[in-house]
Structure 1
Amino acid sequence: MWANLAFVAAGGAIGASLRFVIHHFLTLWLGKGFPFGTLVVNVLGSFFLGLLFSLIEHGIVADLPWRSLLSIGLFGAFTTFSTFSLDTLLLIQQGEWSKAFINIFLNVVICILAAWIGMQVVASK
């Protein structure tokens, strides 16, 4: 159990740091008018989590330590559903209903599609 906890903690530190860097640079590049940083990390996290899941399910990658390190740790800290929820609520509170619905649509639909594409990368081999 302690080894798994260490893997989760290490992955979480890396995931949170990556999320910060990506969000920071996308905000500098694209501005604060739309939560692009949240969208990008959610799409990337969904893709790579789908890819990892499929690699483990097909026996290409061992469950341990990768599920703890990457799935729970790295991707758990990297993806930002709680941030997505707050970003959307803030857009609604600012009266930006169209941006809120676009944000919901893009995060939900593209992230589900990204997870499926990640799984298909392995399934097609």
Structure 2
Amino acid sequence: MIRVALAVAVGGATGCVLRFLAASWVVAHWPRHYYLATLTVNMLGCLLIGLLSGLFLLRTDLPLELRTGLTVGLLGGLTTFSSFSLELLNMLEHGRIAEAAGYLLCSVVGGLLAAWLGLTLARLCQ
């Protein structure tokens, strides 16, 4: 159990640093569109969790530490639903209703489509 927890911790730390770097880069280049980093990492995380989950169903021989470290750790640290929620509320509070609606729609529908695509890609690898 301790090895799985360590794998999650290492993966989570890595995901958090990647999310921080993505957010820093976006804010430096497009400060008004700060939320694009969150949207991007959430879409990528949804795609990857679908892909990895599908692959891990095929490869149950892979160590639990690897599977859990990547999905719960790395992708859990990388994706940012709490940040998404706060950013969405910020847009709404500043009267940016259309932008907030687009962000909400892209995040939810895009995330579902990305997870489906990842799972589909994994199934094609069978």
Using structure 2 for the length normalisation, give the TM-score.
Answer: 0.92
| Distance in 1 of aligned mates of 2:124 and 2:64 | 24
What amino acid sits opposite 2:124 in the alignment?
Answer: S
| Distance in 1 of aligned mates of 2:12 and 2:34 | 26
| Distance in 1 of aligned mates of 2:105 and 2:37 | 15
| Partner in structure 2 of residue 79 of structure 1 | 79
- 1:24 CA drift (Å): 1.2
- 1:112 and 1:4, CA in 2 relative to 1: closer, same or farther beyond 3 A? same
- 1:59 CA drift (Å): 2.1
Q: Is the 8 A contact 2:88 2:100 kept in 1?
A: yes
Greater alpha carbon shift after TM alignment, 111-120 vs 29-38: 29-38
Once the two structures are superposed, the pairs formed by residues 31-42 of structure 1 within 5 Å of their partners are 31-33=31-33, 35-42=35-42
What amino acid sits opposite 2:94 in the alignment?
Answer: Q
- 1:61 and 1:76, CA in 2 relative to 1: closer, same or farther beyond 3 A? farther
Aligned length: 125
Once the two structures are superposed, the pairs formed by residues 38-77 of structure 1 within 5 Å of their partners are 38-59=38-59, 62=62, 64-77=64-77
2:94 equivalent to 1:94 = yes
Greater alpha carbon shift after TM alignment, 32-41 vs 111-120: 32-41
| Distance in 2 of aligned mates of 1:24 and 1:124 | 36
| Distance in 2 of aligned mates of 1:39 and 1:82 | 12
Q: Is the 8 A contact 1:46 1:114 kept in 2?
A: yes
Q: Is the 8 A contact 2:50 2:119 kept in 1?
A: yes
RMSD: 1.4
Structure 2: stretches of 5+ with no match in the other structure: none
Q: Is the 8 A contact 2:7 2:65 kept in 1?
A: yes
What amino acid sits opposite 2:112 in the alignment?
Answer: I
